[in-house]
Amino acid sequence: MSRRRAILLVDHGSRRAEANAVLDAVADQLRARDPDCVVRASHMELAEPTLLQAFEACVAAGADEIVVQPYFLGPGRHSSDDIPRLVKQAAADHPGVRVAIAEPLGAHPGLVDAVLERVARARS
């Protein structure tokens, strides 16, 4: 039996809509690269959808495997403690859904490329 995977992005959340829109743009780019994958963006606080709401949306879209990707650079309190707690709560009502939590973005070579690109385009 084939599983339907979802990627659930989660960041801190902001009162500023333009800050939250960044995660939506990343979700759009992921969907464009893998149209068969369910992709949802969520925020830990200050904005919706919450992680719980986005988890439920993934399940409603037919996902039976959800990979939660913390959209954080390092393994701080949110990615190490808060997100696992919130994921456990969200998954409790869905025992048939496989759940994994990916590592924060960290020192990935793709981020180094992004930094170098931003530096090259910086204006004084």
Sheet of 38-43, strands arranged across: 38-43, 5-11, 65-70, 98-101
Q: Tell me: domain 5-121, CATH 3.30.70.1150, correct?
A: no
Does the pLDDT of residue 84 top 70, yes or no?
A: yes
Does the pLDDT of residue 13 top 80, yes or no?
A: yes
Is the pTM higher than 0.75? yes
Question: How many angstroms separate the CA atoms of 87 and 83, rounded?
Answer: 6
30-62: per-residue pLDDT in tens? 999 999 999 999 999 999 999 999 999 999 999
